[in-house]
Structure 1
Amino acid sequence: MEIAKDLRDFLMTRRAKITPDQVGLVSGARRRVPGLRREEVAILAGVSTEYYVQIERGQVAGVSDEILHSIATALQLDDVETTHLFDLARAATRHAVKRPGRSRSVRQPVPEGLQALIDTMVAAPAIVQNGHLDIVAANALGRALYSEVFERATGTPNLARFIFLDDRAEETFPDWEKAADDSVALLHVEAARVPYSKAVTGLVGDLATRSDAFRTRWAAHDVIAHRRGTKRFHHPAIGELTLRFEGLDVLSSAGLTLIGYTAESGSPSQEALQLLASWAATEADREGEPHVRSE
């Protein structure tokens, strides 16, 4: 990854989102740039304009955490964006002192016992994904919920590849625009966390080459944390489900996230989830595999 460029573009896109009025500055009659100017960010952060320009260009060697926090405050960054800024700054500093090829790999093994753990979640779909959105483990209901992603993958299923390159994605994820936004935002987080990883750079490069929708979103430099929320699915055999999800970091293996899904009690989606369990059991019987029981 071009860390200096990523840092510059991230700060520029954040500046563009903040108006002078939001931070108590006089906007003036004529402005050539959207959002804040560099000199306005520098004033808010308590640094000279020249120093802020240097930081925005990716020249961050020796920049203190206090100054980075001041810039984050000036730009009204949330916790995820602030962490991303620090990751980019650290990556830019590391790049200045060692070769990119020595960066650690993002390919983390699934910890022993994690598969057994999610297999006990017989009434809740669960998957484990890594930072570049490979699904590296799933329980029976999770595999059933993501059956289209698994069946149409060559090798390890990857959610970003499915969302941007598979013509079934918009049917599988009815809220496709949000799914697309979220997947790119998560990839930006991972790209800063483990810069120069071949897995990440290869995926981003491939998607940028093949998908206009991906390129547009990548240029926005948005970042998120996949912690909790709701997601809509359309299953070819069951129909539509709206499920709540919780994302939990796997502390024994950095970069892995366990995501579990539940349905609201008494809702049509709970009934659909029970049907999905029955469908998964039927499919498992056909293939001679262990299956989940329907509640």
Structure 2
Amino acid sequence: MPVITNPEQVPLRPVYTIVVSADEEVTVDGQRIDKLPGQDAREAALADIRERAARRGHPVRVIAKEPDGSAWPLIIDYDGAVTPLDASHPTPPVPQTHTLPSEPAISHLPPPTGDPLPVTPLTPAADWLTPLPYDFQQMLAQVKTAEDAGDLPAAGVLAQDLEEVLEDGYGPAHPFTVNTLSTRAYLALRQGDWHHSMVLHLQAAERRHQQQAPRAETLRLARNAHFCWKQLAKPTNNPAHAHAPMTAAQWSGEVLRVLRLVGTEPVIITVTEQWAALLQPAAS
């Protein structure tokens, strides 16, 4: 696999930190990475970083720390290409603060590094970026007020009410309806409701694909669905989440179907197939 020939073209942020311990445990940015059977710590870390690079759509910067205390600056791409650097990663400039113009769409707090990216349209398209008609602005404002107040469950209920009204008036495939469905999906994700968020993200991604909506946002929704599915698939000692792997096993076929349908990155499909195979005993 080719390495990066011009590291200066790789964004300075984020810089992920991989730490491998003496007992072969591995973390990325402090989060423990689960290993597949027979997978060593470094392979697991590389697979995790590849997924992050695929979700971002470009190679990412990494600092790999070994048990002996050594640290290596690397650039890793979604295809697994690893480029060692001769010097440390450059220090990113201090970001400038700007006042952004107000938008009619619901704003979302940026997620922590490594988490799925927020649902925001990337490609100009009038049908998908047109603000809701005036008659629905009050309902939208209520959703945003609840979200800004941190009452995400209330925001989700209000968004569902808005979606039902829009579906009655415009149908389930209209951009107004699907955009509101996407908002519900992200509100559920922010609450850690992995199952509900996964289902909503899958629905939104498939409806956008069927309507030939701007592809970048459709892929983003599919990646977020995969992220939620993987949270369900991870082993857990929490009794409250004991059935999560079984739920992931039951949904693995549908997740793979939508990922393939919208044409998400091969590495994400491959990782999903590997985890799905591991979960098959739970589904039987």
> What is the TM-score normalised by the length of structure 1?
0.29
Specify the structure having the higher radius of gyration (Cα). 1
> What is the TM-score normalised by the length of structure 2?
0.29
